[in-house]
């Protein structure tokens, strides 16, 4: 069973499409350098519209833990995804403050083995070639790292056309997509539907609820 995360949702229409498709997770980006960045107020409005069976993941880059705690305490996010230089101590602190699951993202650099030392304490590892920019990486590196794919979020260059192959080859815990379901910089409901359909066809269906509570 492979979970599905549709990341970088910014509009009411995106949430409406997600509610029809029922992925396990959607992602709200709180990094102000991203074109998909949301304010707290914007994210709260989208979360109110989101089906409660879908978990909202907050995506952060070296954020003040107090900011993350506030979003978690107010129920705006259910899971925390870290993309910066956050280390094991930061992860431990965030988990203590929020009680939420943590996904630690690791950027794959061409030709180099990823440094997994700062993922200690995270519930999941996310491997990506960038941050929502649609670049893929050599999936063969995953087997060389020894990563437990049962806790792996696979991202980077995924789209409707290759998500099935990714699931069949890697068997990750979840597949994560952002730019691969966009047209002209906005989420495309037809691409969202195709991605979810192809992922479920290849990897079965796992419906998470509220940060993993069944």
Which positions are catalytic?
7, 128
Q: Which string of DSSP letters, residue by residue, matches 26-91?
A: EEEE--TTSTTB--HHHHHHHHHHS-TTSEEEEEESS--HHHHHHHHHTTS-SEEEE-SS--HHHH
Cα–Cα distance measured from residue 209 to residue 55, given in angstroms and rounded to the nearest whole number: 6
Residue 135: strand pairing partners: none
* Closest C-alpha to 211, from 74, 100, 71, 94: 100
């Amino acid at each position: 069973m492979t979970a599905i995360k549709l990341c970088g949702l910014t509009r009411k229409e995106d949430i409406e499409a997600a509610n029809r498709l029922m992925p396990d997770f959607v992602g709200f980006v709180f990094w102000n350098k991203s074109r998909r960045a949301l304010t707290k107020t914007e994210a709260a409005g989208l979360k109110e519209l989101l089906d409660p069976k879908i978990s909202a993941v907050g995506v952060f880059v070296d954020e003040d833990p107090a900011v993350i705690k506030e979003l978690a305490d107010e129920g705006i996010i259910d899971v925390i995804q870290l993309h910066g230089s956050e280390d094991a101590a930061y992860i431990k602190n965030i988990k203590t403050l929020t009680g939420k699951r943590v996904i630690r993202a690791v950027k794959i650099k061409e030709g180099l083995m990823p440094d997994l030392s700062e993922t200690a304490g995270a519930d999941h590892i996310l491997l990506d070639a960038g941050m929502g920019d649609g670049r893929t990486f050599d999936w063969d590196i995953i087997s060389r790292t020894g990563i437990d794919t049962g806790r792996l979020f696979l991202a980077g260059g995924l789209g409707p056309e290759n998500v099935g192959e990714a699931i069949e080859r890697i068997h990750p815990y979840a597949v994560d997509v952002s730019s691969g379901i966009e047209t002209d910089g906005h989420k495309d409901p037809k691409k969202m539907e195709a991605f979810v359909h192809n992922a479920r066809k290849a990897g079965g269906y796992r419906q998470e609820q509220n940060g993993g509570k069944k």
